């Protein structure tokens, strides 16, 4: 089973010649005809949109684009919507009838390209779609295939968060801590409500099907709470729906019931809440991670479940069954010893998920697989990179450093040593703990990170050169100032929030946290994998770092991909995995039984 979301690439070992790609999200189901579904699946190693007729057990490929397609939905009429995305992340919404036919623009007007920023298909004849650009958000409301009835423009960073055609209400979200975190608009653009995030960040999650009640999550000092908003009542808190770590939520198709997914200490907990009766019950999913979940009107809950050793599979709890698209070939379960470790730290213990080669009894090589974000976390979830590293004799440590989600608002806000410095201090502390515990060989500890995780890899190499033997940085943020000036408005806003200003306003903070500042101290062999069309971690700032590293005499290999940041081609994912795996196995001097060099070596610099 596949859907649209974050990609994963499955291979049958590091030396695989065949692979499939999948998206760990449940299919989009037609509200008025549940036998009709749309999902993102494998098309010869590339993600594309498919139509699935559950009654006939028939699939049909909808899109066929060189760069792949990863966002789709199906409206109540059975029409498939998909986003025609370019390498720079911009594009437009297009539609196709379930049975096939031409692709047509979602709305019949001249739509400039933008980044997807919300899509609501509530039923009836109306739909709403948001596109963001460097100046703000444009929301189009109207009938599919016709000129939009309303085109609304919102300056600055924003996204469409909800649309209720019955009441004519539209919800627009800005930064969750902004004084205008959520704006609710009534017909003709009149402002019905402005919800501030200054007293606690707030996230809108959509209107209830068929009526004008907006679902939200609000943060407080010690956790997160479900709240709702109605025009006649304002905000209503639901004390029985309070949790100590991050949550998201969605409405059931009918009634005032809500399905809540809590992320807690690397695992997920599902809770069903009846807001009218103020009752909750836990959905009995096994320990592990729920990648996606959805609810039926009769109370049935479907979820996509995984844990460290088990590839994702669909679980259902309740009377309704769905005939889902057949899943891609699944890799074998991970053969590893799975452990957890909590390392003492100044703001509380640091949680690490460990996967060790079976039978290891002495200290050995360990790779720190560093997550990005920073507002993300490593999960008790199957990861092809973990599988391949462990199969090659390398233990894997996934550290949920300070700033990670799933440990509550205090942990998420614990940046006491500054941007980057706080996180690499946690990596160093966990490394020392693993060495003291006899798990890690101090002469064979490496790093592997992607995006903001790759930023931490480069910063650690420059600030802690004695600790790390080899490293892989995939699509890194390497020169913070250059990256800030070339990045998207959303990323500039995030960095300005992290640093307390722009590079012009607080230049010393950016310099202190930029890997470029410490490039002359890098000693470990380094593999940098970057993308020529990356809008989030632009290639210019990667090249400035690599030039400085070469001038300082550092050892580096390069691999450049002709893709954007997210990389929708499975072949690129396999290239990254194989090059990174071979590089670290060589750099950490581990036995490489079954490993062969990649077909084309990276550039050596």
Q: What pLDDT, in 10s, does the model give residues 438-449?
A: 999 999 999 999
3-state secondary structure of 222: coil
CA distance 26 to 38: 9
Assess contact for 212 and 230: CB atoms under 8 A: yes
Asked which of 328-332, 512-516, 571-575 is least confident by mean pLDDT, the reply is 328-332
Average pLDDT of the chain? Answer: 91
Q: What is the mean pLDDT of residues 374-385?
A: 94
- pLDDT category at 89 given cuts 50, 70, 90 is confident
- pLDDT category at 596 given cuts 50, 70, 90 is low
Could you report the per-residue pLDDT of 20-44, keeping only the tens digit for each? 666 778 999 999 999 999 999 988 8
pLDDT for the residue 339? 97
Q: What is the token pair recorded at 385?
A: 């990179």
Could you report the per-residue pLDDT of 492-516, keeping only the tens digit for each? 989 999 999 999 999 999 999 999 9
Q: What is the mean pLDDT of residues 258-265?
A: 98
Beta-carbon-side half-sphere exposure of residue 65 (alpha carbons within 13 Å): 21
CA distance 122 to 137: 20
CATH class of 337-604: alpha beta
Could you report the per-residue pLDDT of 349-363, keeping only the tens digit for each? 999 999 999 999 999
**pLDDT at 19 exceeding the cut of 80:** no
- pLDDT category at 72 given cuts 50, 70, 90 is very high
3-state secondary structure of 145: coil
Contacts of residue 127, defined as CB under 8 A and 6 or more positions apart, other chains included, come to: 75, 106, 119, 120, 121, 141, 142, 143, 144, 163
| Segments making up each domain of the chain, as ranges | 337-604
Q: What is the token pair recorded at 309?
A: 């050793």
- pLDDT category at 68 given cuts 50, 70, 90 is confident
**pLDDT at 14 exceeding the cut of 60:** no
> Which stretch of DSSP H or E encloses residue 421?
helix 421-436
Could you report the per-residue pLDDT of 414-462, keeping only the tens digit for each? 999 999 999 999 999 999 999 999 999 999 999 999 999 999 999 999 9
Q: What percentage of the chain exceeds 90 in pLDDT?
A: 81
Q: What is the token pair recorded at 506?
A: 């607080």
- pLDDT category at 597 given cuts 50, 70, 90 is low
Assess contact for 393 and 590: CB atoms under 8 A: yes
Asked which of 50-59, 186-195, 270-279 is least confident by mean pLDDT, the reply is 186-195
Q: What is the mean pLDDT of residues 106-127?
A: 89
- pLDDT category at 203 given cuts 50, 70, 90 is very high
> Strand order of the sheet with strand 202-207?
202-207, 214-220, 223-230, 234-243
pLDDT for the residue 78? 96
**pLDDT at 570 exceeding the cut of 80:** no
Assess contact for 40 and 73: CB atoms under 8 A: no
Q: What is the mean pLDDT of residues 66-90?
A: 91
């Amino acid at each position: 089973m596949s859907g649209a979301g974050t990609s994963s690439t499955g291979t049958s070992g590091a030396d695989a010649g065949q692979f499939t790609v999948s998206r760990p999200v449940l299919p989009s189901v037609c509200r008025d005809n549940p036998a009709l579904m749309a999902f993102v699946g494998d098309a010869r190693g590339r993600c594309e949109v498919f139509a699935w007729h559950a009654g006939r057990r028939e699939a049909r490929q909808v899109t066929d684009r060189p760069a792949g397609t990863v966002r789709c939905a199906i409206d109540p009429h059975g029409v498939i919507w998909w986003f025609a995305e370019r390498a720079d992340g911009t594009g437009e919404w297009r539609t196709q009838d379930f049975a096939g036919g031409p692709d047509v623009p979602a709305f019949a007007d001249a739509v400039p390209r933008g980044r997807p920023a919300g899509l609501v298909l509530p039923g009836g004849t109306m739909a709403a779609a948001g596109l963001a650009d460097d100046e703000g958000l444009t929301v189009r409301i109207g009938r599919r295939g016709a000129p939009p009835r309303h085109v609304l423009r919102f300056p600055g960073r924003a996204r469409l968060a909800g649309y209720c055609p019955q009441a004519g209400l539209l919800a627009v979200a800005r930064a969750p801590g902004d004084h205008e975190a959520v704006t609710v608009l009534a017909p003709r653009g009149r402002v019905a409500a402005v919800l501030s995030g200054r007293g606690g960040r707030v996230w809108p999650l959509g209107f209830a099907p068929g009526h004008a009640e907006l679902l939200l999550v609000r943060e407080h000092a010690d956790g997160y709470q479900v709240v709702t908003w109605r025009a006649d009542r304002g905000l209503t808190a639901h004390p029985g729906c309070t949790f100590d770590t991050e949550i998201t939520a969605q409405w059931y198709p009918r009634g005032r019931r809500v399905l809540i997914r809590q992320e807690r200490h690397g695992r997920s907990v599902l809770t069903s809440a009846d807001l009218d009766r103020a009752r909750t019950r836990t959905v009995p999913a096994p320990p592990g991670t729920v990648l996606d979940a959805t609810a039926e009107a009769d109370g049935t809950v479907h979820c996509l479940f995984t844990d460290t050793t088990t590839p994702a599979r669909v679980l259902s709890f309740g009377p309704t069954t769905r005939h889902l698209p057949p899943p891609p070939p699944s890799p074998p379960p991970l053969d590893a010893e799975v452990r957890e470790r909590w390392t003492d730290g100044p703001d509380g213990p640091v949680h690490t998920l460990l996967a060790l080669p079976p039978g290891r009894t002495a200290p050995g090589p360990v790779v720190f697989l560093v997550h990005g974000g920073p507002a993300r976390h490593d999960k008790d979830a199957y990861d092809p990179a973990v599988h391949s590293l462990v199969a090659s004799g390398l233990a894997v440590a996934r550290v949920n450093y300070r700033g990670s989600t799933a440990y509550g608002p205090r942990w998420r806000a614990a940046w006491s040593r500054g941007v980057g410095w706080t996180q690499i201090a946690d990596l160093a502390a966990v490394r020392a703990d693993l060495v003291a515990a006899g798990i890690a060989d101090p002469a064979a500890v490496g790093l592997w990170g992607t995006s903001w995780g790759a930023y931490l890899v480069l910063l650690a190499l420059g600030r802690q050169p004695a600790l790390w033997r080899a490293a892989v940085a995939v699509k890194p943020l390497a020169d913070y100032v250059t990256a800030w000036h070339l990045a998207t408005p959303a990323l500039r806003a995030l960095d300005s929030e992290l640093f307390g200003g722009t590079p012009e306003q607080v230049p010393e903070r950016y310099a202190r946290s930029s890997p470029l500042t410490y490039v002359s101290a890098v000693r470990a062999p380094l593999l940098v994998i970057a993308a020529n069309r990356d809008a989030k971690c632009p290639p210019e700032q990667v090249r400035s770092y690599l030039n400085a590293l070469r001038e300082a005499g550092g050892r580096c290999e390069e691999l450049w991909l002709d893709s954007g940041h997210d990389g929708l081609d499975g072949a690129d994912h396999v290239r990254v995995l194989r090059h990174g795996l071979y590089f670290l196995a060589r750099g950490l001097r581990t036995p490489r039984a079954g490993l062969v060099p990649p077909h084309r070596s990276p550039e050596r610099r």
